[in-house]
Structure 1
Amino acid sequence: MKNALFVGFVSWSALTGSGVASAQDGVVVTAERRAQSLQEVPLSISAIEQDELKLIDADHVSEILARVPGVALHRGSGAEHLTAIRSPVLTSGAGAGSFLFLENGVPIRSAGFANINGLFGAHYEIADRVEVVRGPSGAVYGANAIHGVINVLTPLPTEDTSIFAEAFGDTEDRYKFKGTVSGSNGAHGWFIGGSVVTEAGYRDDAGIDQQKLTLRHVFDDGGVTIDTIFSFDNLEQETAGFIFGEDTLNDRALRRTNNFPFAYRDAKAARLQSTISIDTGENTRIQFTPYARWNQMEFPQHFLPSNALEENGHWSMGAQSAIYHDAGALSLIAGTDIEYTDGYLSEFQSAPRIFSYTPGQHYDYDVSAVNLSGFVQASYELTPRTIATAAVRVDGTFYDYDNKIDSGIEGRFLRLDDRSDEFVTASPKFTLMHHIDDQTSIYASYSRGTRPPQTTDLYRLQINQTGDQARPEKIDAFEVGARAQIGSIVDLSLSGFFMDKRNFFFRDADGFNVANGKTRHLGFEGNIMIALHPTLSLQSAVTYAAHTYRFDRITGQATETINFGDDVDTAPRVIANTRLKWTPTERATLEAEWLSMGSYFTDAANDHVYDGHDVLNLRAELGVTSRLAVFATIRNLTDTLYAERADFAFGNDRYFPGEERTFGFGIRYRQ
C-alpha cells in the first residue's frame, strides 16, 4: 500500500522508552482533526501509545487515563465510571455533558444525550493510542468539550498481513480475550479487531460480560483517501451499589457484599463513520466525515428508593467537514458540523408507593435534536519561531420535546407539555506559541468552552423544578505551558491553568436544581520522563489543583450548605502517577506503578473527608520467542483497602471499594 496511508494520512512517530509521545517527536491527531506534531500544538495534550496500552492491559479504562496529569476516573461497578478532567469528579448532567468522548474523532454519543459512563463503549482494549486534551476545546469540537476531550484511536491497517491474539486470566475470575487481523492489497487496507471480557466480579452479584468489534477499511490512491470504521459494543453487567460506612470499607468480607443484587445494566451500541480526504492542491486538503450511530440501554435505578426501570437510547446521523489550507506563514482551517438525533427516555416504577415515588410511568418522552456548527481557525507565523492562532466556533442546538403521557405532577415527578428549546453559543480561542530552540517551547492561551443543557436536565424534572432553569454552561480558561527536552535524558511538560465556570447546573442536597452555580479551577500539571539509564526510565504525572465554589447556597439540610470558597466535593488537590520501567533486553519489560490519590471532601459543606490512598501495581512481560510473549500483573501489591470512589449522602459515608491484591497472567501471540 502507498506510504501516504501509513505516513502521510496519519503519521505515527517513534516512541520514547516510556511509551508516551515525546515533546520533540510526538504526533497527535485530536487537536485539529489531523496529524500534527505535538511540539506545534499550543495546548495540554497527552498520548498513550500502543506499546504502553499493551503493557497496562487495562481491566478498566481508568487504568489508562490515570497516567495523564489532570485526569481522574472514579471506577464504579463493572464498566461504569465518573470522570474528572481539570475538574471535580462530576455527576448527572454535568458529568455527562462536560467531557467529550470520541472514537476516531467522532463523538461516541450525541451532544445533549451523553452518558456519564460514556467511555465503556470505546474499544480501548485494542486501541492504537488514546489521546487526551485537557481544558476547553470548543473551537474545534464544540458542545461537551468544556473540560476536555478523550479520543480513542483504532489501529491503521498494516502493510503486510499481521495477526495478534491475547488471553488473560486473574485471581478474581476475570478472563479477557482479544485479537486483531490486519493487512493490505494494493490501494486497500483492512483491520479487524475484537475483544471479550467475562468476570465473576470482585463483589457479590457483580459479574460482567462485554463484547466489542471494530472493522476498518482504508482506500488510498494517492490523492483520495477513504477511511471507513464500524464498531459494535454489547455490555451485560450485574451492578453493585455503594457500601456504607468506613467500617464496612475496611472489613475484607463486608466490602465484597452487595445490597443491590437485583441491579444490572444492559447496553448496546453501533457506530459507522467514513472519512473522505481529498488533496486538491499542494497546500489544500478537504476532509469530510459522515457518520451514523445507534445505542440503547436499560437499568433499574437501584440508587433511588423507587428502583424504577429506566430505558433510554438514541440514533443519530451527521457529518463533520473541514478545509485545511497551508500557505507559507499562514495556515487556515474552516469547517461545519451537522447532526440530527432522535432519542427517547422511559422510566417505570413497578414497586408500591415509597414516600413520594409513585408506582407507574414516571416519564415517557421523545426528543429530536438538530446541532449545527461552524468554525474557523487561523495560525500565522509572526517570526520563524513564534506562531499566533485565533479560532472561533458557533454552535446551534435545537430540541423538540414530545411528552407521550399526561403532563403535570404525579407524586414527585413533573412532566412538561410538549415544547421546543434552542441554544446558540460561541467558543473563541487565542494562543501564542514560541519556540525558544528546537527542543524547548512555551505557550499561552485563552479559550471559552460552552455546552447546551442535557435533555435530562431540561425534561426529566421533579416537583419544585421548572423546565427553563438550565442554561448553557460557560467556562473561561487561561493557560500557560512549556515543553522541553534536556539532551536525551529529560522530557518535560508543564502547564498551569485558571478557569471560571458559570451556569453550573446540578441538584443540591435538598433535591432542588441549581442553575446558576459558579466554580473556579486553578491548578498546575507536570509530566516528566527521566532516562536514568539506557534500560531504565522514570516517569511521573503530577497534578495540584484547587476546585472551589464561587457562590453561596443555603439548603434545608444545614450540613450541605455551600459557602463561597469551599472546595467542590470529590475534588482531590493532589493526584500523582509514577512509573519505574526497566527494559533489560528487547524482549523483557518490568514496570512498577505507584498511584497516589490525595484526600478530598465528600460533601459540599466540606464536613466529611476521604483520606485518599496509595496503590502499587507491578507488570512484567517476557518475549519467549519473536512471536510469543507471556506477561503477568500484580495489582494492589500491598493489599491496601481503599475506595475507588467515596461519597457522603443521606447521612452516610458511601464507597465503591477498590479490589484487593490480584494476580494475573496472560499470553500474547503476534505474527
Structure 2
Amino acid sequence: SRADYETDPTINYTPISYRDVTAVRLSTSYEKEAGNSLTTITPYLRHNTMEMLPNWSLSYDPTIYETFNDSLGMLIKHRMGSNNGSKLIVGADIDYSPGGRDEVEIDAPKVNGIYTSYTELGTLYDYDVTFSSLSPYVHGEMALGSHARLSAGLRYDMMRYDYDTALAPQEIIDPNHKIPEDTVIRYRHASPKLGIVYNFSKKQEAFFSYRHGFRAPSEGKLFRQGSSFNTVDLEPVKLNSVEIGWRWRPADKTVTELSIYSMKKTDDILTFQNPVTNQREVVNAGETSHQGVELLLGLPVAGKVHFDAAWSYALHTYEDWVARSGGTNYDYSGNRMAYAPRVLGNTRLRYGDVDKFNAEVEWTHVGPYQTDDANTHKYEGHGLLGMSVNIPLSSYWKIKLRGHNLNERLYAERASYNSFRGEEFSPGMSRTVYLSLSWQWQEEK
C-alpha cells in the first residue's frame, strides 16, 4: 500500500515467496579459417530448472510451479570477405529443448496482512512441451562509393512446440485454470533488415536502419492458459522499426550521438486484468507504438576526468487495443502504456583509468509513468545518486567500494495499480554501501 511504502518501506508482505534456480551451460567452438573466409561451429548443451512461489500472485492465484528444460543446439556461421571490404555471412541457429511445467495450488492465509505460511492443495498443471527451431540467415555488407556502406540481411525462423498434458483437458471444472488439449503449434516467419551508414568525414557519420522483428509466444503464455479464453491460438509479436541518427567524434574520447526511432508492434502479447472480476487474461493487442529520441554524450573534462551521459525521451502508446472480457469491451486505444516512463537518463562523472585506480559518481533518473492500462494512476518517478571506487592493491588483489541511493530517496522498483488492491509498490533499497575484496589467480597483462 502507499501508506506502508511511505512510512514502513522495509515491511515484507510475502516472506514465504521464493525462487530456486539451477542453470548449467556447456559449449565449445570450432573455427576454420581459409583465406578471406571463416567458418565457426558452436554446439551447446543447457540444463535449466526453476521452482518458484511468486509473491505477485498470492492474492488472486496462489501457486507453486516448477519449469524445466534441457537444450541441445548449434550455432553455425560462415563468413566470406573480399579485398574491397564487402562481406557475406550465412548461417543457421538450431535448437531442440524438451521441457515442461508442474504447478500446484496452495492455500496461503494472511496473518495481520502478511502471508506467513501455506499448504499445498491439488495439481493445476502437469505437462511436457518440446520446443524446436531452425533459423537460417544471411547478412551482407558492401561499399556504396567512397562514403557510404550498405548492409542487409534476412532471417527465416521455423519454430515448433509439441505439447502433451498429463491432466485431462478441462474448462468447466476450474475456469481459472483451463487446460488446453494436446497440440502441436508451428510458427514460420521471415525477418528482413536494412542499414546504411554515410561518412561525411572520419569524424562524422549519419546512419539509417530498418528492421522487421518477430517473437513467438513463450511456453507459459501458450499452455498455462489460466482464465484466458484461448491461448494456443496466440499470434506471434511482429514489429517494424526505423531509426535515423548522427554520430560525431571530434576528438579522442569524445563522442556525440543523436538518434530518432519509431517502432510499431502488431499482435503484442499483453496481460489484461478485468477491473470487475480481477481475472487476468493473456491476449494479443492490435497495435502498440513506440517513438523516441536518444542522446549519448561522452567527453573529457580535464586530465583523467571524463563525463558520460545517456538520455532518452519516448512515447509508448496503445494504438489499437480493445479487450473483451465477461461480455464487456474495454477500449485502451490511445492510452499510454503502463510501466513505460517517457524519460530515462544516466549521467556519470568518472576519474582514473579502467585498469588502475578509478572513481565514479552516477545519477540515474526514471521519469513518471502510468501504473494501470486505464491511465488513472501514476508513479512520480525518481532520481538516484550512486558512486563507486576501484582500488588495485596489486596485480592480483582489488578493493571495490560501491554506494547506492546516497541521496536516500524513497523510490519503487515497480509501481502498479488495480481496482481490487489499490496502489502497490516494490520499494527499492535505501542508502546502501557495499565493500568487496577480489583476488584473481592470473596477473593482468
* TM-score over 0.5 (shorter chain): yes
How far does the alpha carbon of each residue in 1:161-219 deviate from its partner, in whole angstroms, 9 at most, with x for none? xxxxxxxxxxxxxxxxxxxxxxxxxxxxxxxxxxxxxxxxxxxxxxxxxxxxxxxxxxx
Matches within 5 A, 1:162-173: none
The answer on whether the counterparts of 2:180 and 2:232 sit within 8 Å (CA) in structure 1 is no
Residues 219-247 of structure 1 show CA distances to partners (whole Å, capped at 9, x for unaligned) of xxxxxxxxxxxxxxxxxxxxxxxxx22x2
Match of 1:393 among 155, 160, 164: 155
Q: 1:450 to 1:306 in 2, by over 3 A?
A: closer
Q: Which consecutive residues of structure 1, in runs of 5 or more, have no partner in the other structure?
A: 1-243
What amino acid is aligned across from residue 320 of structure 1 in structure 2?
Answer: L
- Whether the 8 Å CA contact 1:443–1:482 is kept in 2: the answer is yes
2: CA distance between counterparts of 1:344 and 1:586? 45
Q: 1:587 to 1:257 in 2, by over 3 A?
A: same
Deviation at 1:359, TM superposition (A): 4.4
Q: 5 Å matches for 1:199-598? A: 244-245=1-2, 247-251=3-7, 254-279=8-33, 281-302=34-55, 303-304=57-58, 305-329=60-84, 330-351=86-107, 359-409=121-171, 410-411=173-174, 412-463=176-227, 465-488=229-252, 490-510=254-274, 511-553=280-322, 561-583=330-352, 587-598=356-367
Q: 1:629 to 1:562 in 2, by over 3 A?
A: same
Q: What aligned pairs does 1:70-81 form with structure 2 within 5 A after superposition?
A: none
> Would you say the 8 A contact 2:66–2:102 is kept in 1?
yes
Distance in 2 separating the partners of 1:626 and 1:276: 32
State the 1:605 CA deviation. 1.0
Distance, in Å, in 1 between the alignment partners of 2:257 and 2:387 is 25
Contact 2:391-2:398 at 8 Å conserved across structures: yes
- 1:447 and 1:477 in contact (8 A); partners too: yes
**Do residues 640 (structure 1) and 395 (structure 2) align?**
no
Deviation at 1:554, TM superposition (A): 5.4
Do the aligned partners of 2:285 and 2:321 also contact (CA within 8 Å) in 1? Answer: no
Where does the alignment leave 5 or more consecutive residues of structure 2 unmatched? 111-119, 275-279
Alignment partners' CA distance in 1, 2:15 and 2:353: 47
Aligned residue pair count: 420
Q: Is the 8 A contact 1:505 1:517 kept in 2?
A: no
- Normalised to the residue count of structure 1, the TM-score between the two structures is 0.60
| Separation (CA, whole Å) in 2 of partners of 1:507 and 1:627 | 50
- Stretch moving more, 547-556 or 290-299: 547-556
| Structure 2 length-normalised TM | 0.89
Distance 1:337 1:523 in 2: 32
How far did residue 295 of structure 1 move? 0.6
Shift of 1:626: 5.4
- Aligned partners of 1:490 and 1:529 also within 8 Å: yes
Q: Give 2:431's aligned residue.
A: 661
Question: Structure 1 residues 482 and 360, CA, compared in 2 at 3 Å: closer, same or farther?
Answer: same
Within 1, Cα distance between the matches of 2:31 and 2:353? Answer: 43
Tell me, yes or no, if the aligned pair for 2:62 and 2:108 is still in contact at 8 Å.
no
Displacement of 1:386 in angstroms is: 1.1
Other-structure match for 2:116: none
Alignment correspondent of 2:115: none
Q: Which amino acid aligns with 2:131?
A: A
Q: Determine if the alignment matches structure 1 residue 601 to structure 2 residue 370.
A: yes
Tell whether the 8 Å contact from 1:386 to 1:434 is kept in structure 2 after alignment.
Answer: yes
Paired AA for residue 298 in structure 1: E
Measured at CA, do residues 359 and 382 of structure 1 come closer, stay the same or move farther in structure 2, by a change above 3 Å?
A: same
Cα distance in 2, alignment partners of residues 597 and 376 from structure 1: 38
Matches of 2:228 and 2:394, distance apart in 1: 67
The separation in 2 between residues aligned to 1:340 and 1:639, in whole angstroms, is 48
CA contact (8 A) 2:178 2:226 kept: yes
Question: CA–CA distance in 1 between the matches of 2:394 and 2:184?
Answer: 63
Residue type of the alignment partner of 2:213: G
Larger % of strand: which?
2
The amino acid across from 1:360 in the alignment is G
Deviation digits for residues 40-81 of structure 1 (CA, Å, limit 9, x no counterpart): xxxxxxxxxxxxxxxxxxxxxxxxxxxxxxxxxxxxxxxxxx
Task: Return the letter of the residue paired with 1:259.
Answer: Y
CA distance in 2, matches of 1:333, 1:492: 30
Alignment partner, residue 113 of structure 2: none
